[in-house]
Chains A and B, each alone.
Chain A
């Protein structure tokens, strides 16, 4: 094995899982269950005990498919309609068919779901058509339960390493990853037969309105590293133009939680306290109505709970202030926001890429395989629309099991030594830069430009100007300076954010129509154009090293829709209200 080894620590494993949040631990556990002989390594930027989107737990399942309440076919239909038809139904079905088994698995492990007096799961209706929301009022223990399973299955864990680029062998198979320790700046090469990317959303793309870089909806450790790694490895990404934009508490990055408060009588209201959308389920169409109301004379938008009974409000507070984003109570206290006495102002989030909520991700098939041999993707990063936490668990399981089988059939690939050496130089460059630009400044400028030029409503010329600004930032990269290993981590993240920004602009420019409500609302192409754009849009690094976009046809549906169903998410505004924008 002629990999350059001077000062380069090399670890060898069979399956490498990158990202220890939600999908990643499940992938590692299921790979070990499939074949306990395999070496499985979980590689994490933070610490798997408290990393990722559910570091403080989760207050419910948004997409539980429980017999008696919903069927996989109904769910596939719902998501197809909610995502304006642009889905590979096989991938959604692969999730749907395993959804209930996964709930039972988590239940056995000790995750507490809400049950009724007979012991059945207490499912609530939030979606426009079906019934899929299962509360987890005590869901703050999820990470501890996952960690226990990681230990039990003897998964090897490496914390505080930032994965920066995948490496491949001479045949184009994935051969491992290069990474750097965020406390010591030590480089590592992890060699593996299969790699599962589970690095979460690209959450540090847009800049929150507050200007605080880390006040993002997503855990800001999820900077888009996986999107950038998949792109640079030549994998196809899909639906990047279908951004994630969420309705949040104004200035606070927690959701207003239609899923928690909706079933208990709370709703999204305008300044008059009136309901203006029929369904609070997060879809692009709902976000467009939200945006219109926000910008209208009836704006801004509020979460209305002040009409509810004291017992109900106390229960809502108990759930919202102890799960997922527990500092919310502290935020409200300082502002004097009491759900009992007044509505809480809401706003829309910065843009991000996240398949868990919308549809922007690394292209995978129903086995979680990407278009690069040996490379898998699962969770918020993998393009299975509206997949949420339970989808991350299911796709983690699918990826882990499939990778375990794949490993058995191949020898350890040999990474290209030129690629390895080049990546080592790229990683260390900011430490060697004597005077330059700090990661903080470069990130701030880049993300401010993302807001100025990419945030919907999208305008062609603005996005073209954005691309020019991004190209200038790319030239500035040579001056990126890190004064310690921590700043080096931030510097590597700026590279990833820049790749994501460019992908977001190019995919959005390529799709010359409007679709998914606000997510891809193009002012100069306002109509949905099914004749030309009923298709996936893929982004890939071309043979010339430049970013290219192309169409990938939609696979024939396995669950057909009738015409009446297709329009269900197109009519979310309540009939007797009109926005005054």
Chain B
């Protein structure tokens, strides 16, 4: 069975100007209980790769530069 991907708007937004992943920071990636954030090594910033969010907020609260915003997923708003 071939597999297709369905695009989806993700709830966690990372401000690329504020994110300091290029300096080695991985705090938001480390604290996520669902492991849905990853670092884009080309851009040097974090982003939400998997739409599997509990909107629990450690990524936002623990970010040292306030770069992360957790929105409520669209299906629940």
Binding site for B on A (CB under 8 A): 46-47, 49-52, 55-56, 160, 182-183, 210-216, 219-221, 251-253, 325-327, 330-331, 334-335, 435-438, 479, 481, 483, 486, 489-490
B contact residues, range: 20 to 34
- Is there contact, CB below 8 Å, between A252 and B35? no
User: Does B23 make an interface contact (CB < 8 A)?
Assistant: no
Choice from B1, B33, B71 contacting A55 with Cβ under 8 Å: B33
With a cutoff of 8 Å between Cβ atoms, the chain B residues found around residue A210 in the complex are 75-76
Choice from B2, B52, B75 contacting A435 with Cβ under 8 Å: B2
- Is there contact, CB below 8 Å, between A334 and B53? no
Contact of A334 with B35 at beta-carbon distance under 8 Å, contacts A56-B57, A435-B3 already known: no
**A and B contact pairs by CB, cutoff 8 A, 14 listed:** A47-B30, A47-B31, A50-B58, A55-B56, A56-B57, A56-B58, A56-B61, A214-B53, A215-B76, A219-B56, A221-B34, A325-B56, A326-B57, A435-B1
Contact of A327 with B56 at beta-carbon distance under 8 Å, contacts A438-B3, A486-B50 already known: yes
The distance in angstroms between the C-alpha atoms of A212 and B75, with both chains bound, is 7
With a cutoff of 8 Å between Cβ atoms, the chain A residues found around residue B62 in the complex are 50
Contact of A49 with B31 at beta-carbon distance under 8 Å, contacts A330-B71, A435-B1, A435-B2 already known: yes
User: Does B20 make an interface contact (CB < 8 A)?
Assistant: no
Interface of B is mostly: loop
- Min CB distance, B46 to chain A, in Å? 15
With a cutoff of 8 Å between Cβ atoms, the chain A residues found around residue B35 in the complex are 46, 160, 182-183, 486, 489
The distance in angstroms between the C-alpha atoms of A437 and B4, with both chains bound, is 11
- Is there contact, CB below 8 Å, between B33 and A327? no
With a cutoff of 8 Å between Cβ atoms, the chain A residues found around residue B70 in the complex are 327, 330
- Is there contact, CB below 8 Å, between B33 and A251? no
Number of A-B contacts (CB under 8 A): 91
Residues in B30-62 with C-beta less than 8 Å from chain A: 30-35, 49-50, 52-58, 61-62
The distance in angstroms between the C-alpha atoms of A531 and B54, with both chains bound, is 44
- Is there contact, CB below 8 Å, between A220 and B54? yes
Interface of A is mostly: loop
The distance in angstroms between the C-alpha atoms of A160 and B71, with both chains bound, is 25
Choice from A215, A216, A220, A436 contacting B75 with Cβ under 8 Å: A215
Contact of A214 with B52 at beta-carbon distance under 8 Å, contacts A49-B31, A326-B57 already known: yes
The distance in angstroms between the C-alpha atoms of A251 and B33, with both chains bound, is 21
The distance in angstroms between the C-alpha atoms of A327 and B53, with both chains bound, is 12
The distance in angstroms between the C-alpha atoms of A489 and B52, with both chains bound, is 13
Contact of A215 with B56 at beta-carbon distance under 8 Å, contacts A46-B32, A50-B62, A486-B35 already known: no
With a cutoff of 8 Å between Cβ atoms, the chain A residues found around residue B13 in the complex are none
- Digit string of B5-24 for contact with A (CB within 8 Å is 1, else 0)? 00000000000000000000
The distance in angstroms between the C-alpha atoms of A252 and B3, with both chains bound, is 31
The distance in angstroms between the C-alpha atoms of A49 and B58, with both chains bound, is 10
The distance in angstroms between the C-alpha atoms of A325 and B49, with both chains bound, is 22
- Min CB distance, A90 to chain B, in Å? 34
With CB as the reference atom, state the residue of chain B lying closest to A49. B31
With CB as the reference atom, state the residue of chain A lying closest to B51. A214
- Is there contact, CB below 8 Å, between A481 and B3? yes
- Is there contact, CB below 8 Å, between A212 and B73? yes
- Min CB distance, A493 to chain B, in Å? 11
The distance in angstroms between the C-alpha atoms of A221 and B35, with both chains bound, is 9
Choice from B1, B3, B57, B75 contacting A327 with Cβ under 8 Å: B57
4 tightest A-B CB contacts, nearest first: A50-B31, A50-B58, A46-B33, A327-B55
- Min CB distance, A329 to chain B, in Å? 10
The distance in angstroms between the C-alpha atoms of A318 and B56, with both chains bound, is 16
The distance in angstroms between the C-alpha atoms of A249 and B77, with both chains bound, is 12
The distance in angstroms between the C-alpha atoms of A193 and B37, with both chains bound, is 35
- Min CB distance, A40 to chain B, in Å? 22
- Is there contact, CB below 8 Å, between B76 and A251? yes
Choice from A214, A436, A438, A481 contacting B34 with Cβ under 8 Å: A214
With a cutoff of 8 Å between Cβ atoms, the chain A residues found around residue B3 in the complex are 435, 438, 481, 483
- Min CB distance, B51 to chain A, in Å? 8
- Min CB distance, A123 to chain B, in Å? 28
With CB as the reference atom, state the residue of chain B lying closest to A254. B55
With a cutoff of 8 Å between Cβ atoms, the chain B residues found around residue A183 in the complex are 35
- Is there contact, CB below 8 Å, between A219 and B72? no
